[in-house]
Amino acid sequence: MFDSSSIVVGLEIGTSKVCVIVGEVNGESAPSIIGVARLKSRGVRKGEIIDPRAVEEDVRTVISDVENQTKVEINSVYLGVSGSHIRGFNNRGMHPVVSADREISHEDVADVVKNAKAINLPQEHTVLHAIRQDFFVDGQNGVKRPVGMLGARLEVDVHVVHGHLNRLQNAVRVVRGMQLEVEEVVFNGLASSLAVLTPMQKNLGSLLIDLGAGTTNYVVYERGVVRHTGVLAVGGDHVTNDLAYGLKVPQGRAEQLKIDHGHALMAAMDEDLNVEIKNDLGLPMNRINLNHLRRIMSLRLEETFELIAQDVAQKGLLEYLRAGVVLTGGGSRSRGITQLAEQVFGLPVTVGRITGVSSLKSSIDEPEFATGVGLIYFGSLKSRREQQHSSLFSTIKHALGKLLPR
Amino acid sequence: MEVQAEKTSGAVNPDATVRVKIIGVGTAGAMMVKALPSEFAPASLAFVNTDASIPVGPQPQLLLTSQPLRGLGTGGDPELGRQLAEERYADLQAICAQAEVVFLLAGLGGGAGSGVTPVLARAAKESGALVLAFVTLPFVCEGNRRQLQAQQALAELNGECDAAVCLANQKVLPLLNARATVVESFQAGAQLLIEAVRGAWRLLQRSGLVQLCFQDLCAVLRENHEASCFATVEARGDARGQMVLEKIFAHPLLAGGEAFNGATSVLVSIVGGPDLTMAEVDELMRKISERCIGTRILMGATIDPAFQDRLSVTVFVACAAKLKRVAGGGADGQREAPVATQLHVELLNSEDTPRLESRLEPAAALTADQRAAILTKHVGKSGRVRKRVASPRMKQTTLPLDLVSKGRFDKSEPTIYKGEDLDLPTYVRRGISLN
C-alpha cells in the first residue's frame, strides 16, 4: 500500500472556492507542494455549509482533479474550517507535580495541558485547538520546555480555539461521506498564519488577517505564540452584496465590478467617473458611478478592519504588534487595501506571501491559497512530531499542543 | 465705564424708561437679584420666597408660609409652593401692580422656584404687565426629581408668561475649569442668566442704530425655549469680525455652532464702536444666515463710543423643540447700549417662517384624582389590583416590510455583532447617502 504518511493533503471548503492542496513531507525539510486544484464553491455561506450535496459534488470533483494531477491516491485530509461560531480565548491550567523527585515528566506536561483545556465552554462547543503559550514552574514564568526541570507546581497558559460541535461536524460528515478520513480539523485563520507569517513576525508580534469571501479570520502572534484568534462572519461576499444592493446590479455583475473597479480607499476617487455596463451583446445597458462603488466598498472594508482593531485593542494586544499587520486571503488583492488598513490600525501593513513550503512558486503564490498551504504546513508539523499514525477517533477532540515550533 | 454710560443714557431719556420690576423667586432667585449690578438701579426689586432664612436687605420681600411651615421653606415640594402662592394671590398681584414689565428670576427645581413662579407669572400678567421669566434648570447631579419638577414648572411657565429665558446649569459646566467650586458653579450660571437679563433690560431701555425692541425678543422667545440658547462674545482688533464668528461657532452654550442647525429664529445683537464697518456687519450676518437657512433672523446694531476697536455680539438662538426636553434658553443682550441715531426696526427676513411644531407634548402631570381614577380602573371587584393590565405593554416592534433586503444573506443566520446586523451594507447602517 502507498505510504500516505509522507503525503499531506489540505482541504479547504471555503465560501468562494473549494481547494485541495497536496504536499509531500520528506523528513525535516520543508513540505513541498505537488498538486493544487480549486473549484468555485456553491454550497457555502459565511464559511459554513448550507448545501451539503453541492459541497460534496464540489469536493469530489477537486479531489479527483488533484488525484489525476499528482497520481496520488488521497485517503485522508486536513480539513480547514471557519465560521462565526469559532472563538478563541486564553486560559491557564495548573497541575501539581507528584513524583517523589519533583522532576517534571512528559505526563505532567500532558496533564497540565489537559487541565488548561478543562474549561466551561459554551454548550455544544468543542475544543478545536489548545495552543500552549508559556509554562510556569513554581510561579517562574517564561519556561519553554519544562520537562526535566524540578518543581512542585506546573502551570501553563493555553490559547483555546473552540467551535460549535454540530456545525463543525457538518463539514467533517461531508468529507467522511466520500470515504476520506479527516486527520484533523484546523481553524482556517491558524492555518493561514502558519503559511504566511515568518518566525520573525511571530516573535515580534503581528496580526494576520485572512480576508476570505465569507469570513474574515484573524490571529495575533506575540513572542512566537498565538495570543488571540477571532472570526468575523463578514467577507468579500458582503462587499459584493453591498455593491449589488447599492448599485442595483445583480450579484454576478457586482462581483465583476468589484474585481475590475474596486478600490479600498475613497480618497483615491476620480471625479464622477462612470462605468458603462454592457450586456451580453456588448450594448451599453447601465451606468455605474465609480464614486458610489468605492464609497460602498471602502466603508465595508473600513468597518471590518475597525471591528478587528477594536477586538484586538480590547485584548490589549494592539501595542504588541511590532511587526504590524499582515493581510492575506482573496480580499487582500483589493487595490488600496494596505493603505486603508494602515489608516485604521496605525501600523505598517503588508500583504503576506506564502512561505515555509517549497513548490513551483507561481502555482501557489496567491493569497487565496494561504489557508490550503497552511493546512499542509500544519500536517507536516504534526506528522513530524507525532510518529504514530492518527487513530480514527482523533479527529476533532484533539490537543494541538505539539503544533507550534518554538 | 459701562455703568457710567448706562446712567448717562438713562438720564437722557427718563420718560422713555419703562417701569420694570425685577422679582427674585425662591432662594436661587433671591441670590440672582442680589447679584444684579447697579445698572439695574432704575428698576424696582422685590423678592418672593417661602424660606424666611434668606436675608434680602432693604427690598420688600413677600414671605409665603403657613403655620406648620414656620417660614422654613417647602422642602422642595412645588405643590406646596403653588398652594401657598394661590393663597396669597392678591399679595402677588399687589407686588406686580404698576409695573409695565416684570422680570422673574428663579432657579427651577425646588419648591419655591417651581411652584411659585408660574403662579406669580399669572398674577403679574393679570395685573397688566409684560412678563419675562429668567430661570435656571438644575444641574444633572441634583437628581432627577428636581429635573422633573423643573421641566414641569418650565412647561407651566411657558403657558403663563410672555416669554421665558431658560438656562440649563449643566451647560455651564463645560465653561468652568475642573477646580471650580460648587459655589462658583452656581454663581457662573447666575451670571450668565444675568447677562440675559441685561440683554432684555437694554432692549427695554435703549434703542440702537438698527433697533430691536422688546417685542422682538418676546416673539423670538415665545414657546421656543425648550431648546434655545444664547451667547455673548467679544473681540477686538483688526480681525475682530472673523474672531467673533469663530467664537460664536465654537461657543459651548451654542453647542459649538450646532444650535444654528435647526434653529427657528435667531436674534443677533451687535454692539460696536464708531469704527464698525458695514463689511463686518454684512459678513457676520451672512455667515450666520448661511448656517441657518430658512430661519427667521432678527438683527440689531448699536454704536457706542466706548466700543472703539471692539465688537461684541450677542446671539440668541431658538430651536425647534428637540426630543430631549433639556432646555437652555436665553435672550439677546446688547453688551453696551448708549443712544445714537435711531433707525427703525429691521428684519433681515421679516416674513414669519412657519415654525415647526413641537411634536412631543410633555405628559401632563396627573392630579391626585386622576391618579386615583387610573388606579381604580385596574382594581378588580375584589378590590385588589389586577396583575394583568388590560392594555398591551409597550413593545418595540419592527415594521413588517423589510426595507433593506440582505441580498444573498437574506435567508442565512444574521451576523449580529454588538447589536448591529453586519449583513446590511455598512453605508446603509451608517446612514451615508451615496449622492
* Minimum-distance CB partner of B426 among A50, A237, A242: A242
Residue A304, SS3?
A: helix
Residue A167 contacts B, CB cutoff 8 Å:
no
Q: Is the pLDDT of residue B363 over 70?
A: no
For the record, the C-alpha cell of A18 comes out as 473549494
Distance CA(A223)–CA(A202), nearest Å, equals 6
What does residue B272 show for φ and ψ, rounded to 5 degrees?
Answer: -140, 170
Query: What residues of B are in contact with residue A233 (Cβ under 8 Å)?
Result: 415, 422
- How far is CA A265 from its chain centroid? 26
What pLDDT shows up at residue A54?
94
> How many other C-beta atoms can be found within 10 angstroms of the C-beta atom of residue A134?
15
What pLDDT shows up at residue B227?
54
* Minimum-distance CB partner of A307 among B406, B417, B428: B417
Long-range own/partner contacts, residues B402-405 (CB < 8 A, 24 or more apart): B404/A245, B404/B428, B405/A245
CB-CB contact of B340 with B13 (8 Å): no
* Minimum-distance CB partner of A237 among B408, B428, B432: B408
What does residue B63 show for φ and ψ, rounded to 5 degrees?
Answer: -100, 115
Distance CA(B335)–CA(B271), nearest Å, equals 7
**What band does B288 get if pLDDT is binned at 50, 70 and 90?**
confident
Interface of A with B in 274-313 (CB under 8 A): 289, 292, 295-296, 299-300, 302-303, 307
* Minimum-distance CB partner of A84 among B415, B426, B434: B415
Query: What residues of B are in contact with residue A232 (Cβ under 8 Å)?
Result: 415, 417, 422
Choose among B93, B98, B92: nearest CA to B20. Answer: B98
Residues of B contacting chain A (CB within 8 angstroms):
404-409, 412-413, 415, 417, 422-423, 425-428, 430, 432, 434
How much is the average pLDDT of B233-242?
Answer: 82
E strands in B221-262 = 227-236
**How many angstroms separate the CA of residue B403 from the nearest CA in chain A?**
12
Class of residue A400 by CB neighbours under 10 A (exposed 0-12, middle 13-18, buried 19+)? buried
Summary mean pLDDT of chain A = 87
* Minimum-distance CB partner of B407 among A46, A241, A296: A241
* Minimum-distance CB partner of A299 among B409, B422, B427: B427
What pLDDT shows up at residue B360?
56
How much is the average pLDDT of A79-94?
Answer: 92
What pLDDT shows up at residue B347?
37
B199 vs A144, more confident: A144
How much is the average pLDDT of A113-120?
Answer: 86
> How many other C-beta atoms can be found within 10 angstroms of the C-beta atom of residue B432?
12
Choose among B177, B300, B315: nearest CA to B234. Answer: B315
Contact A296 B427 (CB under 8 A): yes
How much is the average pLDDT of B157-167?
Answer: 78
Distance CA(B29)–CA(B52), nearest Å, equals 14
Give me Rg for the CA atoms of chain A.
Answer: 22
Q: Which residue of A has its CA nearest to B430?
A: A299
How much is the average pLDDT of B278-297?
Answer: 81
Among B141-150, B190-199, B350-359, which is the least confidently predicted range? B350-359
Residue A245 contacts B, CB cutoff 8 Å:
yes
Half-sphere exposure of B374 (CA within 13 A, CB side): 7
Distances (CA, A) of A371 to A61, A155, B398: 19, 32, 40
Query: What residues of A are in contact with residue B415 (Cβ under 8 Å)?
Result: 46, 84, 232-234
Distance CA(B14)–CA(B18), nearest Å, equals 9
CB-CB contact of B100 with B130 (8 Å): yes
Q: Is the pLDDT of residue A241 over 70?
A: yes
* CB-defined contacts A:B, below 8 A: 65
**How many angstroms separate the CA of residue B413 from the nearest CA in chain A?**
9
Distance CA(A117)–CA(A92), nearest Å, equals 8
Residue A233 contacts B, CB cutoff 8 Å:
yes
Distance CA(A372)–CA(A23), nearest Å, equals 10
**What band does A226 get if pLDDT is binned at 50, 70 and 90?**
very high
**What band does B1 get if pLDDT is binned at 50, 70 and 90?**
very low
Distance CA(A181)–CA(A195), nearest Å, equals 23
Instruction: Given the cut 0.90, state whether the ipTM is greater than it.
Output: no
At residue B428's C-alpha, the angle toward residues B425 and B432, to 5°, is 125
Q: Which residue of A has its CA nearest to B424?
A: A242
CB-CB contact of A201 with A221 (8 Å): yes
Among A234-248, B32-46, B110-124, which is the least confidently predicted range? B32-46
Instruction: Tell me the H-state helices in B98-231.
Output: 111-126, 144-160, 182-205, 214-221
CB-CB contact of B346 with B180 (8 Å): no
Long-range own/partner contacts, residues B353-357 (CB < 8 A, 24 or more apart): B353/B264, B353/B294, B353/B295, B353/B296, B355/B224, B355/B264, B355/B265, B355/B320, B356/B264, B356/B320
Element (H, E) at B75: none
B295 vs A185, more confident: A185
**How many angstroms separate the CA of residue A61 from the nearest CA in chain B?**
25
